Structure 1
Amino acid sequence: MLGFVQSALTYIIPFLLVLTLVVTVHELGHFLAARSFGVAVDRFSIGFGRAIARWTDKSGVEWRVGWMPLGGYVRFAGDANAASVPDGEDLEVMRREIEAREGTGAAARYYHFKPIWQRAVIAAAGPFANFFLAVALFAVLLMAFGKTIYPARVDGVVPGSPAEHAGFQVGDRVIEADGRRIESFLELRQIVFLRAGAQIDFVVDRGGRTLTLTATPERRVVSDEMGGEQRVGVLGLEARESFNDREVRRYNPIQAIGGGAAMTWNILDTTVYYLGRLVSGRETADQLGGPLRIAQVSGKAAQAGAEGASDIGQVLLGSGVALLNLAAVLSVGIGFMNLLPVPVLDGGHLLFYAYEAVARRPLKAEVQAAGYRLGLALLVGLMLFATWNDLQQLRVFKILGGLLS
């Protein structure tokens, strides 16, 4: 029993806090955009399931808190169609029913009768709310704590590694990799991880001289900080982070917003690059994670943030900071995923609206329904694959095999 409680506090609660924050902000983006265009909204819910608290505001919106804290949702008035884009016949029937019930012109308040551009803005507002959340969280952390940077200095070169073959030497400082400015060894490692088998040009500072070296990272199995294993690109460079070498960069509010935007863009750019290599077969799916990985990362982040704390206040502060950073990263991922042109996701709605704008009529309901089923199947399949990947990464099958043998 004690072990279960400890696991809940360590993994489940941080996971729920992070997920609920990110998904609620996503839905809040849809809600605020809809209200700005005068769309009638029935309900905004934080969490799912039976309500443990509810109230109705002056505009008639029911606000509720569900007992299952796994995100939330916003429900527009009359939003019964699964794809949220009824066809022409459905729209006409809906209009007659609304006007018979509420009077002439009442349909103008409903989402489906708004101009296409307004519906597109509402659909895109959720993902962009996630991007804004990431920028805001990164900015707050930069203002409060600054950014700790350890220079990308080479303290060791593994014999026989791609780095040795390329001519790297101890004392080199990497200032550019694959055309990107490098400020820290962490940034260098992130670039190398995703470029196994790809030739990379490096610009290094060697005793005041600027040199260009070319190396191709080789794919190796490495253990990550979460206890799992991944096949990533490895160059063979070693660094020893010294307290005397570190630089703590401070940010004013304007600089912090710019820094937060840059960090958000970097995550997006890295995600697109990784997916491009994955689709082309040049990258493995090791880094695709599902809810198990998110829960594990949430727990590890909370533990790492609390490490070394001397009292409960420092524990909460450290854990909170780590989870806010994780929430920012996850928010970018959820925002990007929802913009993919897959029915069921916001990007799928935008795809339907693009067709409607060109054809001057909504897509037929049967086609939308088929697209919805296909999109749902793809989403479920991806989730199952990610969960299977999580189990493998966490070496669950090896552990079970050892217990059963």
Structure 2
Amino acid sequence: MFNILYNIIIFTITISSLIIVHECGHFYTARFFNIYVECFSLGFGKKIFEYNDKYGTNYIIRLIPLGGYVKMPDLIKKNTLKYNFKKYKFIFFNQLSFFKKILIILGGPFANIIFAILIYWVIFFIGFPIKKTIINEINYISIANDIGLKSNFEIKKINGVNISDWNIFNIELMKNINSNKKINLEINKINSNILIKKTLYIYKKSIKSLKEKNLIFTLGIIPKGLKIIPIINYIIPGSVAEKLKLHIGDKIINIEGKKFTNWYNFQKFIYQNNNKTIHFSINRNKKNVNFTISPSFTKFKKIHFLGFLPKIINIKDTSEIICKFNLFKALQKSLKKTVNLTKLIINSFINLFYNKNNIYKLNGPISIGYIAGKLIRNSFIYYFMFLALININLSIINLFPFPILDGGQLLFLFFEKIIGKKIPYKFKKLIYNISIIILIIIMGITFINDFKQF
């Protein structure tokens, strides 16, 4: 119960910061052009705070922190006459030039990007931990094992790009998988300078059914700093493990009378004894329970062949180092990081539209709260890096040509410029209402996806 409450609090702080930054981008761009701002609202639902300033702006905080807006009326209203417009030299949105209107609309997304750059700049300057790409373990039934990757090897390059940590490796993997190209790896054994070349042939089609979002685990690589322990952490519905009535928390202690040594050998033994009777024992509630299985699978059904996943824990990692840069270099790194992530996110959205089934992989507020809560417990650095990432996400999403988003406002603006007159209010309202319904449906799907995951 405490964890749920904690995650809700962290989620509220995280989402609120995103929205405040975004709406402040619109607000201060409008103020720069001396535009009269009628309302600055955060969230929706019941009002929990309200304040009016001397400029006639009504500041509102509402109960549910999932949105916000800055209202700039086109015409003066009766209730605004009490404010001295001549004194503050206010003008209205419709009095602005076409270019200035665009700048105000782009102010929100631009503010999120700037915020992400600032976060990365500070992190790169004060220092952040990186984990060298040293392999700790390999899954036997995996792509990594098929191409000959082994423990205590370090991945140095991927398609000619130098790799310094697992985060960069994962990003480069995503780039190359999305382009459906073969992936060339260069690895070396620890304390050796001899580079060995390996080639991965992996495509989007071959990973679309997998649940892992981290492609490193998908390949079957367990990085140094993580260790597989023989405790069942997840059981796939309808699998052999479920039919055997194995439970989450069961600990594998031996197989065919031999003590369990490591996950690699366990998988290897099971796979090499296809269609044979195998005996193994688990410990459950301090009692040993024996099981008998006759695994039967083809080369097309290797992944999760028994239908359970082991527990992976963090262990002391001597390969972790603190990386930091001077102020100027940190800014360069920050800009490069933001540009690379922006490209990656855009490519991810493009792939989303190409494959309609990908919408069922979209995450929503529950996932954000869970990830944010987990990260802030482990490291403030990783939490702020995540915060920067979702700021970039929000910036890009808001530029979609969807009526209630900034991209939709730009679309209306350009359309009005082309036809030379304003779009009728009734038509705009109809489009807004339709888009709200679509947005609610998408949000509903993300909630369902989150509930399935957690």
Asked if TM exceeds 0.5, the reply is yes
Q: 2:124 aligns with which of 116, 123, 142?
A: 142
Q: 1:89-133 CA deviation, whole Å, 9 max, x = no partner?
A: xxxxx58999x9999999981112311111111111101111111
Cα offset, 1:259, TM superposition: 2.7
Amino acid at match of 2:341: I
Q: 2:35 aligns with which of 33, 39, 48?
A: 39
1:119 aligns with: 101
2:339 aligns with: 265
2:21 aligns with: 25
Alpha-carbon distance between aligned partners in 1 of 2:446 and 2:383, rounded to the nearest angstrom:
22
The structure in which a higher percent of residues are helix is 1
Q: Is the 8 A contact 1:203 1:212 kept in 2?
A: yes
Q: Is the 8 A contact 2:73 2:92 kept in 1?
A: yes
SS at match of 2:344: helix
Shift in CA distance, 275/177, structure 1 to aligned 2, threshold 3 Å = farther
SS at match of 1:14: helix
Alpha-carbon distance between aligned partners in 2 of 1:43 and 1:370, rounded to the nearest angstrom:
23
1:384 equivalent in alignment to 2:444: yes
2:218 aligns with: 234
1:368 equivalent in alignment to 2:420: no
Q: 1:12-68 CA deviation, whole Å, 9 max, x = no partner?
A: 111111111110110000001111111111222445556555444343323344455
Q: Is the 8 A contact 1:177 1:202 kept in 2?
A: yes
Structure of larger gyration radius:
2
SS at match of 2:70: strand
**Greater RCO between the two (CA within 8 Å, min separation 6)?**
1
Cα offset, 1:294, TM superposition: 1.7
Alpha-carbon distance between aligned partners in 1 of 2:78 and 2:55, rounded to the nearest angstrom:
22
Alignment map for 1:281-300 (pairs within 5 Å)? 281=355, 284-285=358-359, 287-300=361-374
Cα offset, 1:356, TM superposition: 2.7
SS at match of 2:135: coil
Q: Is the 8 A contact 1:44 1:74 kept in 2?
A: yes
SS at match of 1:77: coil
Alignment map for 1:59-74 (pairs within 5 Å)? 59-66=55-62, 69-70=65-66, 72-74=68-70
Alignment map for 1:190-339 (pairs within 5 Å)? 190-192=171-173, 195=177, 198-206=180-188, 207-210=192-195, 212-217=197-202, 218-219=206-207, 221=210, 234-241=218-225, 243-281=317-355, 284-285=358-359, 287-305=361-379, 318=380, 321=381, 323-339=383-399
Amino acid at match of 2:368: I
Q: Is the 8 A contact 2:170 2:216 kept in 1?
A: no
- Identify unmatched segments of 5+ residues in structure 1: 79-93, 225-229, 306-317, 395-405
SS at match of 1:189: helix
Alpha-carbon distance between aligned partners in 2 of 1:161 and 1:385, rounded to the nearest angstrom:
31
Provide the aligned C-alpha RMSD in A.
Answer: 3.7
Q: 2:113 aligns with which of 107, 131, 138?
A: 131
More displaced 10-residue stretch of structure 1: 365-374 or 132-141: 365-374
TM-score (norm 1): 0.74
Identity %, equivalent residues: 22
Q: Is the 8 A contact 1:131 1:331 kept in 2?
A: yes
More displaced 10-residue stretch of structure 1: 67-76 or 135-144: 67-76
Cα offset, 1:169, TM superposition: 4.6
Alpha-carbon distance between aligned partners in 2 of 1:70 and 1:379, rounded to the nearest angstrom:
12
SS at match of 1:40: coil
Q: Is the 8 A contact 2:183 2:199 kept in 1?
A: yes
Shift in CA distance, 127/12, structure 1 to aligned 2, threshold 3 Å = same
Q: Is the 8 A contact 2:360 2:445 kept in 1?
A: no
Q: Is the 8 A contact 1:174 1:202 kept in 2?
A: no
